[in-house]
Amino acid sequence: MNNRIIVATLTAAALAVPTVAVAKPGHGKGHEKQTAKAHGKAKQPKKVMFVFKGKFSAPGTVDVTSGNSHARKGGFVGQAVTFDLVNAKVVAADTNGDQKVDVSDVKDGDVVLVQARAAKRTKYAEDAEAIVARKLVDKTNAPVEDEAPAA
């Protein structure tokens, strides 16, 4: 036989041996577990920031007069929306003089801005639960920052 054919055959065989040795046994099993696990959970809706602007009325209700696109498209404008303000950051002046700023410093009729994260495309429902607010800003009684003396 021709020496070139023999050398080509031996070279091809030598290159094929390391490829077989490197392959891991049972490689397909992990992939099956991963896809089964991924299909087991329902995908959660994306959360977006809703910004509501309006007049505050006591116990955490805001008569929404305007808002960002999520609030407008959700039908919240013109409605009285109830917010859960327990863990919300409150930005307001200390109107009651108790040396801490909380929801009790916001009075009825104050113009406020409320930020809340909710599922994208959330629509207004009259009997819905209170929306959990992240931040409440009192625009009527804005906090007074301490003025530093001019240098």
Q: What is the CATH number of the domain that holds 67?
A: 2.40.50
Write b or e for each residue in 96-125: b if 16 or more Cβ atoms lie within 10 A of its Cβ, otherwise e. Answer: eeeeebebebbeeebebbbbbebeeebeee
Q: How many domains does the chain have?
A: 1
Could you report the per-residue pLDDT of 131-141, keeping only the tens digit for each?
A: 999 999 999 88
Q: Is residue 66 part of a domain?
A: yes
Residue 37 is predicted with a pLDDT of 58
SS3 letters across 63-86: EEEEECHHHHHCCCCCCEEEEECC
Is the predicted pLDDT of residue 32 greater than 80, yes or no?
Answer: no
Q: Is residue 31 part of a domain?
A: no
Q: Is residue 109 part of a domain?
A: yes
pLDDT above 70 as % of the chain? 79
Q: Which residues contact 4 (CB under 8 A, 6 or more apart)?
A: none
Is the predicted pLDDT of residue 47 greater than 80, yes or no?
Answer: yes
Q: Is residue 27 part of a domain?
A: no
Tell me the pLDDT band of 51, cut-offs 50, 70 and 90. very high
Q: Is residue 80 part of a domain?
A: yes
Residue 110 is predicted with a pLDDT of 92
Is the predicted pLDDT of residue 20 greater than 80, yes or no?
Answer: no
Q: Is residue 70 part of a domain?
A: yes
Is the predicted pLDDT of residue 43 greater than 70, yes or no?
Answer: yes
Could you tell me the residue range of the domain that residue 105 belongs to? Answer: 47-138
Higher pLDDT, 12 or 97: 97
Is the predicted pLDDT of residue 35 greater than 80, yes or no?
Answer: no
Higher pLDDT, 89 or 141: 89
